[in-house]
Structure 1
Amino acid sequence: MAVGRLLAWAARLFDGSAVAQARAEARLAEARLRAAIDVLPEGVVFLDAQGRYILWNRRYAEIYHRSADLFAPGERLMDTLREGVRRGDYPDAVGREEEWLAEREAKLLNPTGERHEQKIADGRWLMIEERRTSDGGVIGLRVDITHMKRQAEALEHALAHAEAAHRAKTEFLADMSHELRTPLNGVLGLLRALEATELSPRQRALAAEIAASARQLDQIVTGLLDYGEADLAPEAVGPAPDIERPLKVLAADDNPTNRKVIELMLEAAGCDVATVENGAEAVAAWRGGDFDLLLMDLRMPVAGGVEAIREIRAEERATGRPRTPVIVLSANTSPEDRAATAAAGADGHVGKPIRIDELLTAMQAALQLQAAHAS
């Protein structure tokens, strides 16, 4: 009996020591994890399968400083968001609070890694990315993209200003053409009528001098207007190679500002531009349209650029459809990125921010290469 009691006591002692050691190791591991994520420049948050806070780093609390008092292990993120909406922390929710919360919860319940933007009350913009963890929880990333948004807005404003100036100049040249050429045409028409009548030699000589002067003036006006019209596109988009014919271009980019930039740049260069939001839409549009050239972003939801290019090239080979030139437009410009896009079947790779002269040069080179292959 004494031996049995001694063994039972030893077992309890051993189990207690093991549990204590395990807890100490868990606390040490958590401390190390917290120290590691606290040095990250992005906000990071871990949630359990029920959307409750487990762990967050210092930057996450700084980003959401208006709501940081609500963060606590075991509290639901959606409850924090609901209180934040009540406090006015999310401008996009104003006037549609329940709808905004429902949309946000849907993204949280299905964390696919698709990025979306969020504006907060102090004027900053955040990029949010959330993914499922192996234990059914969620890891969330928050990146402050305020500076990028302001740069994009400034570029859009500048392009809008350039577009307005381009439009004003076009209207001015049209008005000038009308105001100058109309009276000139009248003068020349009257002179032709006058020359058809009986004139004295002196009168005919004077009419010939008037006609010569009018034709010279018409040539000067034509030259000025032609020069102005030829100057329209370079003035709007900067010096760039000429595209020899109007092109039908399909551009895929998940960012609406980037799509607008591409439209403005290429429409000013005389292209007919259609845009889509992701690689899957690009493939579908390519199937249904007769495009001269495709422009493809790399990182897009649903299907990325490399995936879309591979699908297009495979279908071209399988169906015998003529090859469509593809140029990648991406901020990812490392040798590895360029190699991957070339291997997928891209004909060029232009880095962002896009320079119109570089883009048009790449387009021209891709079209020339395509023509050489076709011949």
Structure 2
Amino acid sequence: MTHVPSAETRDPEPSDGVVVAFPDRATPADEISNFFDVSLDLLVVRDLDGRVIKASRSWHTALGHHPHEMEGQPLLRLVHPEDMPGTLGSVAEVTNRKAGDPVLGFINRYRHADGHYRLLEWRAQRFGDRIYGVARDVTNRVAGEKALREAKAAAEAASVAKSDFLANMSHEIRTPLNGVIGIIDALSRTELTPEQREMVGLVQSSGVTLERLVSDILDVSKIEAGQLALEARPFDLDEAIAACIDVNRAKAEDKGLTFEIERHEAARGAFVGDSTRIRQVLGNLLSNAVKFTARGGVSVHIQVTDDTLTDDGRHTLTLEVRDTGVGFPSEHAERMFERFSQADGSITRRFGGTGLGLSICRSLVEIMGGEISATSTPNLGSRFTVRLPLERTEPVAARPKRPEVLSPRPADRPLRVLLAEDHPVNQRVVQMILSDQDVDLVTVDDGAQAVAAFAGGGFDLVLMDMQMPLMDGLTATRAIRALEAEQNAVPTPVIMLSANAMAEHQDAARLAGADLHVAKPITAASLLAGMQAVVDHQSSSVGLAI
């Protein structure tokens, strides 16, 4: 309520020299009238029959109704007919509200003098035989909230559509790419003339580059959409990085480079984190080091310390990759981690590449809570350093034991493998890869056939495509696990072979009961290594010639 000063009250220092006098006292009716005149909200006093006793001037400003025209008239005559049931309920709630009950708000539509409707938000209280109400025009606010909800829903739908599109593109591109890389890989294992071997090598290199480009574009899209999910599972550090080290060591040796590994004793054992992404970061740095080095060598330094990047007591994994390659000016160090950026245009012309790799590395490292940096000198080499916080789950001396996944198999019979794959070319790729192995391969075209064949028994391992007609690989894997549970049988290893290579697809495969996810395009090395890993931890017990 506005305070009204007495007649003796004066402005001590009027700016215009005019002495302002106020009446000696205002009556309650005058105070209410003054309050009603200055309020921007819609004020109204009505009796218990719903007739208006007094309304504020703001009714005319907001809705075009003169207060004196409203007096004596039913207030609810202005309510939209569709809102009348809810409004009557609100009126009854206010009329019967007991002392101490909360004051509830209500929104309904009131008719403007020109015929359109505005949304009003009400608060009201009963005093004696009168109801005192205050309303605020919330039409614009409600419209804005609705627009925001619709925009959010549209953005979420677009995000889902984008994810679905990326997943489909990944599958559609990787499926034929699997045929190209798999068949060329199988061809490279046959007798070839030097000229033929050179041509096969060129096709292999182009296929690997294309597969890497597809993976990079998918990763960038997921990072931009904020949909790149990380795993937090126990893993063995040696096993996590061994493959990418071995691959890049072979590449370095093929170029006549030295390849050195310096591993601190503490950099062993089991940790919790996303081993796939750690391997991806290290593999990218090593691949770049080999790629940009013509003479000298590449080295990787691995260390785990008690220093922490955060306050939660985690250890720090440090991965440092050094090379004696082309290098780059120190002022370009930060630019190297920007998308589509390389040290200069000649890098792309000389070595190729999109400039996405280091950007993805930085994003992955930052998402994992770490940091990445680079130092370099032109023509002398570069050093890239990654620091990641990791929780150790076992002491250094402890080594995780890989469980046996198969009951002993007679050594005098081949490994019986069930392949579920609907694409003829991909069927042929697997058949060619396993043709010189001690394997009895049974091929079916969909998940339903796979479950039926598995029910017959006798298989040592299942290779399951994820996306197939009639019954997909995830459903078929769940059906196989359910069948084993019913029979109280030892679980048979299942490897998911999938062109769906995103993290969520790997998670889906694991949740369905698969032991391993091998992304297409597959090669003899990736397929045989996966089979070896899930069948037995001793390579001699299976005898796959990788």
Where on the TM-score scale, by shorter chain, does this alignment land: which range? 0.3 to 0.5
Provide the TM-score with structure 2 as the length reference: 0.33
Structure (1/2) with the larger strand percentage: 2
Structure of larger gyration radius: 2
Structure (1/2) with the larger helix percentage: 1
Provide the TM-score with structure 1 as the length reference: 0.46
